[in-house]
Amino acid sequence: MTETLTHVQPLPRTLPVAAKPLAAIAESAATPSRVLSICLINPRFEPSYWGFEYALPMYPGDRRSTMISGSLTTLAGLSAGHELYLMDENVEELDWDRLAAFDIVGVTGMNVQSERMREILTRLRELDVFVAVGGPYASVKETFFAGLCDVIFVGEAEETWPAFLEDYAAGRPHLPRYEQSEKTDMERVPTPRYDLLKAERYASGALQFSRGCPFSCEFCDIIVIYGRRPRLKKPEQVLRELEDMRAAGFHSVMLVDDNFVGNKKKAKELLRAIVPWQEANGFPLRINTQASVNLADDPELLDLMYRANFRSVFIGIETPSKASLEETKKFQNTRGDSLEAKLERIQRAGLDISAGFIVGFDNDDLSIFDLQYEFIQNNGVLLAMVGMLGAIPTTPLYTRLEAEGRLVEGDPNCNFHPKQMSREELISNYWDLVERLYRPEAFLERYLHSYRLPEYHARRAAMCDKAKEGKFLPTLGYAGILLKNLTWTLLRDGSFKKLAPTYLRYYRKSRKYRRDLIGLAQFLNRCVTHFHFYRFTREARSGQLRTYNSG
């Protein structure tokens, strides 16, 4: 595979350079003309529903972030022959004195990290260090970084980053902007450097099997950045990464694919390789992933996921309104039998469901908020990540709303004018919905929903036995720590009288389904999770936090 490096904004110190095949770049990068010292930074996230900032301190150990940044380990794997240091601001403070000494400082991030990226880049400019920027937000909003960096990488960088490093190490001119002309061949990418992470500070690792999604949802930037044809790693690549993550000390991993079942045949091939690896090693890794709801239509796929120790799946449901699904071109959610039936099949297979929901589509009127609440409650979607519709630059939605004159720049929470309600009505009713969903009674009713399905309960218990989870003393110690920390946190927060009686009442209900020590530990874990949502909702709505929608 070859590439053409495009140059769009003439800047000083930059000249075109020749492109090279990935194999040649990797070979020359292994013996660079000089060894560069490189620091890669993942900026701090603002508090969010999925960040679990208020839950992590209650768990044993020193967990500071829910999940690693896969971009840091991937870039490190592409930097063979150089000295690498990873600074994830979510688990450690930035060492500005040390940053000033690196040859190159790279900064990556998403939309929700954009303001912190700007703050970091502004500070780096004062240090006069060479700064590179890339990642999802740089790929959809290049103009945001004007004057804040020396070089920007748009889209994937498996070829452009090594090519840049080779020229920079040799003292040759570089471009101000790099963008691959072809999509990355995932079967040829180097193994990420999980060994460079402070693994003990993360609740979960992150691994990517595929890129791209075959669907065409109007609001999504995935197909803009990665395309509609899923590109996948070979099973042996993924097994090597799982082994590396196990060696690094991880016990949980998220397959962060845009859609794990975008190619069902290849997904099954991978699962058939993971099952014996898990069995041979005593099921060392709990796996979670993201998938489209048509996962429910393939019993073999569901069973393989269960046998491979997949514990949960995140599904982009978005809305129970068929008109809104058709509006946003999410036709995969309208095919076949009902969403309710599909979700139940996934749960009966032994998988927990978390899901994304959106309010504010053009077909949504004020009735959508009750409709969403009832759907989420009735289907036991425990972790319901509800957000207002957002128009991301470069997406078809952004283009359409811009043409209609409906964009509102400068508001990270609601950047458009809805069609059947005012912005104020959307924002107010959105927060009302979220508060209803994360009342303790509503949350714990959803928790008990799956346990009322006998197949789910039996399969989860069997997998815990296979993974040798629930040993008496470790589990008792874990439950004791959670109980102590949760009690202290509720007292300090002033929420003990409001939340503790509800927690106790629902624990008694849960004993109808599970009376063992694992049941107690799992229930306390859910109470800790609930407290995070409860506190975040309260503080975000009151304006105490700088937020970027909820998702």
Of the residues 421, 438, 455, the one at which a domain ends: 438
Task: Return the minimum-mean-pLDDT range out of 210-219, 326-335, 477-486.
Answer: 210-219
Helices (H), 206-287: 222-226, 235-248, 264-280
| Mean pLDDT in residue range 87-95 | 97
- 79 occurs within a structural domain: yes
pLDDT, residue 470, reads: 84
Q: Cα separation of 192 and 207, whole Å? A: 9
Residue 546 confidence class, pLDDT cut points 50, 70, 90: low
- 537 occurs within a structural domain: yes
Q: What is the pLDDT of residues 238-253, one digit of tens each?
A: 999 999 999 999 999 9
Q: Cα separation of 372 and 352, whole Å? A: 19
pLDDT for 264 beyond 50: yes
pLDDT, residue 30, reads: 52
Residue 549 confidence class, pLDDT cut points 50, 70, 90: low
Note whether 341 and 434 are same-domain residues. Answer: yes
Of the residues 393, 419, 438, the one at which a domain ends: 438
Task: Return the minimum-mean-pLDDT range out of 85-99, 144-158, 221-235.
Answer: 221-235
Q: What is the pLDDT of residues 391-425, one digit of tens each?
A: 988 899 999 999 999 999 888 789 999 999 999 99
High-pLDDT (> 70) share of the chain, %: 93
High-pLDDT (> 90) share of the chain, %: 80
Note whether 143 and 233 are same-domain residues. Answer: no
Residues of the domain holding 390: 208-438
Using left for φ > 0, alpha for ψ between -120 and 50, and beta otherwise, residue 419 falls in: alpha
What CATH number does the domain containing 245 carry? 3.20.20.70
Residue 31 confidence class, pLDDT cut points 50, 70, 90: low
Q: Cα separation of 473 and 307, whole Å? A: 27
Cα 541 to the chain's mean position, in Å? 23
Buried b / exposed e along 450-483 (16+ C-beta atoms within 10 A): bbebeebeebbbebbeebeebeeeebeebbebbb
Residue 19 confidence class, pLDDT cut points 50, 70, 90: very low
Q: What is the mean pLDDT of the chain?
A: 90
pLDDT, residue 18, reads: 35
State if pTM tops 0.85.
yes
Q: Cα separation of 265 and 255, whole Å? A: 17
Q: Quick one: DSSP state of residue 46?
A: P
Q: Assign 3-state DSSP to the chain and report helix, strand, coil percentages, each to 5.
A: 45, 15, 40
Residue pair 343/446 in contact (Cβ under 8 Å)? The answer is no
From the CB of residue 216, how many other CB atoms can be counted at a distance below 10 Å? 14
pLDDT for 5 beyond 60: no
pLDDT, residue 441, reads: 97
Note whether 140 and 263 are same-domain residues. Answer: no
* Domain count across the chain: 3
Note whether 403 and 479 are same-domain residues. Answer: no
- 11 occurs within a structural domain: no
Q: Give which of 107, 85, 93 is closest to 36, Cα–Cα.
A: 85
Q: For strand 231-232 and strand 210-211, is the pairing parallel, antiparallel, or unpaired? A: antiparallel
| Mean pLDDT in residue range 128-148 | 94
pLDDT for 349 beyond 50: yes
Cα 245 to the chain's mean position, in Å? 17
Please tell me whether residue 219 adopts helix, strand or coil conformation: coil
Q: Cα separation of 155 and 508, whole Å? A: 51
Identity of residue 153: F
pLDDT, residue 29, reads: 47
Residue 154 bridge partners (DSSP): 179
Give the DSSP letter string of 424-467. HHHHHHHHHHHHHHTSHHHHHHHHHHHHTSHHHHHHHHHHHHHT
Residue pair 263/229 in contact (Cβ under 8 Å)? The answer is no
- 445 occurs within a structural domain: no
Residue with the two structure tokens 């993360």: 202
Q: Cα separation of 464 and 230, whole Å? A: 32
For residues 180 and 547, which has the higher predicted lDDT (pLDDT)? 180
Note whether 269 and 407 are same-domain residues. Answer: yes
From the CB of residue 388, how many other CB atoms can be counted at a distance below 10 Å? 21
Buried b / exposed e along 24-41 (16+ C-beta atoms within 10 A): ebbebbeebeeebebbbb
